[in-house]
Amino acid sequence: MTGTTRPTVHILGFGSMGTVLALDLLRYTNANVIPLFRSNEKVELFQKEANNVFGMKKLYLTDAPLITAQVEQSESPESFSGVHIDNIVITTKTYQTKDALKPYLPYIDSKTNMVLIQNGLGVLELLKEEIFLDEKTRPQLFQGVISHGVYQDVGFIYNHAGFAGMKCSRLPWDDTVIQTKSFMEKDLKDNELVRLFMSKPMCEEFGMEFMTYQEMLSGQLFKFLVNSCINPVTATVDAVNGEIGNSCEEIFSLIIEESLQILKVVYKPLFDYELNYNGKPDYPTLEIESVFNLDNLVKKIIHIGCVINKKNSSSMRQDTLYLRDIEIEYINGYVVRLAEKFKLGADAAKVNKTVSAFAKLRLGLNRTRKVEGDKR
């Protein structure tokens, strides 16, 4: 990207998703990327031991080359410079969002571009109801859905196990689901962060696509269903993605079938889109019915999760291995809450409720074994 003004992008949550995006922003744009760590101790570790360098092993390429990059500065709540935040990418765990954002709220306003790149659903409700209560000062909000498979190797080195791109759109603060192409194209022309994401070769090398909300939402719900299957199942049985490929069809089918019934109620405008908008001027043509077909979803989720990303260790499995809290309440647990919110009946989400319970059981078991030892 060329130009006299150098964009600054703060990244809150410098884990697998934050680093894979930061690496290509540094390689293919002129952005000043600033990681925001949770503490000064983490900043000092990154600065002194890693020399502000992080890296990505491209496992999907021959010989798995290690590609590294160096940032000019990194900060934490204690050391933050106090400048206005123009662009911020949120890649923290969903349940950490509120606490992680709190120290930086004085530097975020209606001129700030904020992109959410997180697993699961439900963060928008959190932002509206608990963080950005004043509508006049709410940031320009965007949603990113990354399908790249990435997990931590050691320190600030990560494994990029599968290349699958990223979808991004403006995220409406209200309940509007449908956007025109003209509305989307205005951001492509005028918004600094969108132009940065879509500059060449950044968009080509990262697989970045900018689109209307309904296009992104379709991709987001697909990714959500991928996460609803891959994350809790690999965490519960403690397996790398590819290990479950030959035996996961039944459990995936149960999760997807139940989740679809609930999502079709909650996101009715999207599931009615083909009938109401396909073929109309200024609206993109979407395939909803064929994509969100049970057999198609099971087949594609197994292919993406267990074939393309066969070497990947899901984020939830990594969390259970390292005894960290898991995001289950924003994935399968969110489906359970939606069923309750829309009064769909006591048994509407029994599969997702059970899957959530097993994921929590795995985390609890790992924590117990850490303290008391493995008694097998």
Torsion of CA 245, 248, 250, 255, to 10 degrees: -120
Which residue in the list 167, 223, 310, 360 is annotated as catalytic? 223
- Which among 13, 34, 36, 4 is positioned nearest to 192, based on CA atoms? 4
Amino acid (1-letter code) at residue 174: D
User: What DSSP line would sit under 228-240, residue for residue?
Assistant: HHHHHHHHHHT--
The distance of Cα 56 from the centroid of its chain, to the nearest Å, equals 18
Q: Report the distance separating Cα 143 and Cα 147, nearest Å.
A: 13
How far apart CA 364 and CA 376 sit, in angstroms, is: 16
Q: Which residue has the tokens 């035996």?
A: 247
Distances (CA, A) of 259 to 213, 287, 288: 21, 19, 15
Is 310 an active-site residue? no
Closest CA to 31 of 198, 175, 241, 179: 198
**Catalytic residue numbers?**
223
